[in-house]
Every structure is written in C-alpha cells, then in structure tokens.
Structure 1
Amino acid sequence: GQALGWRSAFAIVGGISLMTMVLIWLHVPRDRGDPQATPLRELSALGSLQVWLLLGICAIGCGGMFAVFTYIAPALTQVAGVSVANVPVMLSVFGAGMILGNIVGSRLADWSLTRAIGIALVFNVFAYILFYFTMTSPWMAIVNVLFIGGGFAVVPGVQTRLMDVAGKAQTLAAALSHSAFNFANALGAWLGGIAIAAGYGWTSPGLVGAVLGIGGFAIFLASVLVDRRRTGRVA
C-alpha cells in the first residue's frame, strides 16, 4: 500500500479471494445439499443454551485479541521502538501466529474438544498479560505478536463444539460464530480505545484483553457445568 498506493492493497486482497474461490472449486468435495433444511429448522439453534454460551465465548473471550491487535501498530512503534517500515513484517508474524494457532488448536480439539477451548482461553489471558508487561523490548514484541496471533487456537474448538450442539441447525450456527467474532472485534477495539483515551498507554489494551479473556473463560466454565448437568440427567 505504501509503495503502490492504497488501492493496490484492495486489488491484492481481491486477487487472493479469486484464487481462493478457484481452489475451493477444484478441491472441496461437492456434497449434496440437505433437502430437508429449512429456515425454521436453522432458527431452532437459537433455542439452545449451549449455542448462546459458545457464542458468548466468541464474543467476549475473543475480544481481547481485537483489543490488542487494533492498536498493535502504535504499540510497536511508540512502545517497542519498532520502525514503521518493519510494522508489516510484525503483522506477518501475527499472521504466522494465527496459522500456528489454527494448527495447534485443531490438534488439541482432536485430543479433547472441551479441554482445547479451556487451554486456548487460558493461553490468551497469559499472552495479553505478557504483552502488557514486556512490550518495551523489540525482541519480546516479536514473541508477543506471535502469541497474540496464536490465540486463534480457540477458534477450531469453539467452531466444532458450536456445530455439535446446534444439532440440525449447523449452517446458522456456523454463520453466528462469525457474527460473534465481529461483535468481539467491535467490543475489543472499543474497550481498548477507552483504556488508551483514559491515559493508560498503548499497552493497556493488553489488560483489557486479559479481563475479556477471563470473562470468556467464565462463560466456558458455565458451558461445561450446563453440559455436565445435562449429561447427568440423561444418565
């Protein structure tokens, strides 16, 4: 964007999107649609308490990542002393963390779906606190950005669990998870901005993220308790 103008960034993203569409067309299996699927059946997902709890984990627990990432550029340049020219490199480190988080989170979900969500949420809280206390070092900034991106490890577990509890309304459940992440994006950025505007500094979104992460973990515990009570009644 700096070299070729801001429009070039949008053109590149559009080109990547077209490539993705071609790859999906070539490699994703062409499964048949469900002839019994109806809008009313999809809306039945909204009657599940577990669906709402898992959406709450996304909306609250993942808000911390967006609280930090929204203001990551000024935190890098004004706190860690990273040059403006190296900010794109650091954002690539964040992207690498997201990829690693998705891989690790998927492996953890294969091992234990519930534990994978809990471990990822605890890791996120740790990453946000580490960001707040160690961002003054350029080398630790690399670790922090990688860890913040790695917080995406919570996504595979939550997404899989959400579709499991949605029953036959998996399409709406999958769409609602993205809505919840967009809510987390807005909430995290807003609260992080409030902390910065109050004079607590560019790293204060880390503490905001930790609080949101703890809130997400509390919702996760509520989900586990509800599930155990339901399992006990069935037994």
Structure 2
Amino acid sequence: GFGGVFCIYTYIADTILDVTKTAPYTISIAMVMFGIGSTLGNYLLGKAADKSAIKTTGLALVCTIVFAIAYVSASYNIWLLYTVIFLIGCSVGLATLIQSLLMDVAPEGHAMIGALVQCAFNTANAIGPWVGGAVIAQGAAPNQTGYVAAALFLGGLVMWFLSYLQLNRQQATAQTC
C-alpha cells in the first residue's frame, strides 16, 4: 500500500510541468510542502496512534485513498496541488504506525521486524514508481498516477483489514482461554 506515496512522489515534477503547467520553481515548493506534510504526519499520526494504532492506521489508509484520487483533479490548480501534496506527505507517518504495530505483535522479534519493515518499504519504493511509470508509458498523464496510487493504497487497506480481523480473532481466543 505504501507504494502509493512513491507512485505520486516520483511524478510530482512531471505533473507540475506537464499538467499544471506552472514554472519549474514550483516543483521546489511542492517538495517543501511534501516534507512539511511528512514531518507533521509523523507527529499527528503518532499522537493518534497512542490512543489506537490499529484504528489510526485504517483511517489513515482510507484518507490516503481519498488524497490520491484528489491528486488527479487538484493537478490543474497549483494551490490545490500543493494542498494535496502536503496531505500525501502526511501519509508518510504511516511508516511509523505500521512498524509500531508489527513491534507490538512480535515482541521477541524487534530486530527482524525492523529489517523486514525496511525491506517492505524499499520494495514499495520500487513498486510505486514502476507501476506509475508503466501507466504513463501507456499514454496516461502524470497526474493519473493518483489513480494508481489509490489502487496501491487500497491494497494496503485490504491487508490492514485482514490483519485487523486476525488481531480481533486472536484477542477473542486469548479472552476465552
């Protein structure tokens, strides 16, 4: 699911130049907006996760789907695009949430979980741009990577939902024992 972030991030410059058709310096502003969003997203999602990490993760994934779809339409106005890029940046906080959840379910395997999470994010960093690039190579405009990102986020939401069901099942079993 996290590949959705990289799918959009990789093609922001192309979207700004080819779709938004603004000056090249606006790419730098967009990158700053993404960075500020990343910082704020880590903070806010971390605070929300203190109350319920699993629910925060699910809600954040739903929001990322909405943001990714909004990216397509927002690309025609630089100010709207900055806003959506900021919100997509906020979703970077999902990385911390996911690692935290995995650490909770594998208390004896923190080193392995840490390594696997990094491998998973590196894989997402390859898959997102690759799938987005494949869609662009077929003739799609760069902003349409938002639809691809939404599909990737949806895949992450499905995996989250399956994990949520499994955790609930395990908790119910533990309570009956």
> Shorter-normalised TM-score: what interval?
over 0.9
**What residue number does 2:17 align with?**
77
The one-letter amino acid paired with 1:134 is: A
| Pair 1:163 & 2:103 matched | yes
Distance in 2 (CA, whole Å) between partners of 1:168 and 1:189 is 34
Query: Structure 1 residue 86: deviation in Å?
Result: 2.6
Runs of 4+ residues deviating >2 angstroms: none
Query: Structure 1 residue 153: deviation in Å?
Result: 2.6
| Pair 1:196 & 2:136 matched | yes
- Structure 1 residues not aligned, in runs of 5+: 1-60
Out of 165, 179, 182, the residue aligned to residue 119 of structure 2 is 179
Distance in 2 (CA, whole Å) between partners of 1:222 and 1:188 is 22
Q: Percent identity?
A: 32
Partner SS, residue 68 of structure 1: helix
The one-letter amino acid paired with 1:161 is: L
Distance in 1 (CA, whole Å) between partners of 2:68 and 2:134 is 17
Out of 156, 161, 166, the residue aligned to residue 226 of structure 1 is 166
Which has the bigger relative contact order, CA under 8 A and spacing at least 6? 2
The one-letter amino acid paired with 2:95 is: V
| Pair 1:149 & 2:69 matched | no
Q: TM-score of the superposition, structure 1-length normalised?
A: 0.72
Q: TM-score of the superposition, structure 2-length normalised?
A: 0.95
Is the 1:105–1:155 contact (alpha carbons within 8 Å) kept by the matching residues of 2? no
User: What aligned pairs does 1:12-23 form with structure 2 within 5 A after superposition?
Assistant: none
| Pair 1:109 & 2:49 matched | yes
Distance in 1 (CA, whole Å) between partners of 2:132 and 2:123 is 14
Aligned pairs, number: 175
Structure number with larger C-alpha Rg: 1
Query: Structure 1 residue 156: deviation in Å?
Result: 2.2
Is the 1:67–1:191 contact (alpha carbons within 8 Å) kept by the matching residues of 2? yes
Distance in 2 (CA, whole Å) between partners of 1:156 and 1:105 is 8
Distance in 2 (CA, whole Å) between partners of 1:154 and 1:192 is 20
The one-letter amino acid paired with 1:131 is: Y
- Structure 2 residues not aligned, in runs of 5+: none
User: What aligned pairs does 1:23-38 form with structure 2 within 5 A after superposition?
Assistant: none
The one-letter amino acid paired with 1:94 is: F
* C-alpha RMSD over aligned residues: 1.0
Is the 1:93–1:145 contact (alpha carbons within 8 Å) kept by the matching residues of 2? yes
| Pair 1:88 & 2:28 matched | yes
Query: Structure 1 residue 204: deviation in Å?
Result: 1.4
Cα shift readout 1:49-80 (whole Å, capped 9, x = no counterpart) = xxxxxxxxxxxx11111011111101011211
